Structure 1
Amino acid sequence: MHTIVQVDQYIINAAEFAIPILDHLRNLVHKADARIEEKMKWSMPFFELKGTVCHMAAFKYHCAFGFWKGSLLNDEFNIFKDREQAMGMLGKIKSFKDLPPDEVLIAYIRQAIKLNEDGVKLPPKPKTNEKPALILPQYFLDALQGDPTALNIFQNFSESNKREYVMWLEEAKTESTKQKRLDTAIEWIAEGKPRMWKYKK
């Protein structure tokens, strides 16, 4: 199905209150720049020109309109309620009263297009090297609590030593193997031994 037809269909299928709002937003985008192309992504209409410019969506009781690079826009007219959370989103649009004036929105759309034309990219998301928090399986916790010596020693183990024991237990293919490993683990921990103690000199 042709994208324009898909966007038409999206608008027609929206809640009654949303249809004129979506139509209006769509017209403003094309008014801002006739070169804009429409795409359907993630089941919602996106507007593109040398990259994604903005998108719109309809929900049961409100519409939303967002700028792909909203965090880089100069929000001169303060149209984004909460910059940190919204990141360039106009959410909770229930009527035309919730929209900024047409000329303001057009200016923002043109600003977003210029970012794409100038090749401005969003900053990369910071890479986190943090491992997910270590969660002890309940059966392991119960077994440790049943042996105060093992529990005390385990609490003072390094994060990696704790993880090695948890992984060893969780990788057991059968319940009987898991039980054997659990008995061994409690015994070794009570003796202050890390999981790989045999291989450490």
Structure 2
Amino acid sequence: MPSHDPRIDAYIERAAPFARDLLRHWRATVHAHCPDVVETIKWGFPNFVYRDKILSGMAAFKAHCSIGFWHGAAALGEGKGKDGAMGDYGRLTALKDLPPESEQKAAILRAMTLIEDGVKARPAKKSAPKPPPEAPADLIGALDRNAAARQTFDGFPPGQRRDYIDWIVEAKKPETRERRIAQAVEWLAEGKRRNWKYENC
């Protein structure tokens, strides 16, 4: 017997009328070709899980629906799909926007095989590396007056320097900023990272 999550029933009922047919169709199609699928809600959207891995997900928005596979274009096959934020089938506004039933079935079976074979899902997009943090002039001045603090700060990797810099530049008031700089110099002189208090929690 298919696994039907009542939260997905409620999600479909709340969707715009145009979206209900699409969501019901995709739900039935997934169940037809993957009888062992389990329904759930993840990130606020209906998802279909196979062997404890996400097989597919769907979402309804004001003017379109989105249907996608966890394995993205690898599930759809060579040269197919619109892998990205709008789901693997792009913006869907009616059943006619979906590919033929045979292609939908093939994609679901391919996605199942990818899960069975232990293939990793689509890799996360690599974000551009952050530029090295630039210390503000007042912090540099304070460090120049304390050799031990300066040595610690200069020896830190960029991320640990950024922790101090962000903490200082996020201060709303000048007096808060001054206090944070003084505290930073004190901790740095002792060789401490910005979040040293929490390191052994």
| TM norm structure 2 | 0.63
1:34-75 deviation line (CA, Å, top 9, x unaligned): 111111111111111111100100001100000001143352
Hey, what's the Cα distance between the residues in 2 that align with 1:181 and 1:45? 46
- Aligned amino acid, residue 168 of structure 2: E
Change in 2 beyond 3 A, CA 1:88/1:112: farther
- 1:93 aligned residue: 92
- Aligned amino acid, residue 116 of structure 1: I
Q: How does 1:189-200 map to 2 (within 5 A)?
A: none
- 1:23 aligned residue: 24
Larger CA Rg, structure 1 vs 2: 1
Aligned partners of 1:38 and 1:45 also within 8 Å: yes
Aligned partners of 1:79 and 1:100 also within 8 Å: no
- Aligned amino acid, residue 55 of structure 1: G
TM-aligned CA deviation for residue 20 of structure 1 = 0.8
Matched, 1:38 2:36: no
Identity across the alignment (%): 35
Root-mean-square deviation over aligned CA pairs = 4.6
- Aligned amino acid, residue 28 of structure 1: T
TM-aligned CA deviation for residue 79 of structure 1 = 3.9
- 1:170 aligned residue: 168
| TM norm structure 1 | 0.63
Aligned partners of 1:21 and 1:96 also within 8 Å: yes
Number of matched pairs = 172
Hey, what's the Cα distance between the residues in 2 that align with 1:79 and 1:40? 27
- 1:190 aligned residue: none
Hey, what's the Cα distance between the residues in 1 that align with 2:172 and 2:61? 45
TM-aligned CA deviation for residue 86 of structure 1 = 5.3
Structure 2 unmatched runs, 5+:
139-153, 182-187, 190-201
TM-aligned CA deviation for residue 6 of structure 1 = 1.0
- 2:102 aligned residue: 103
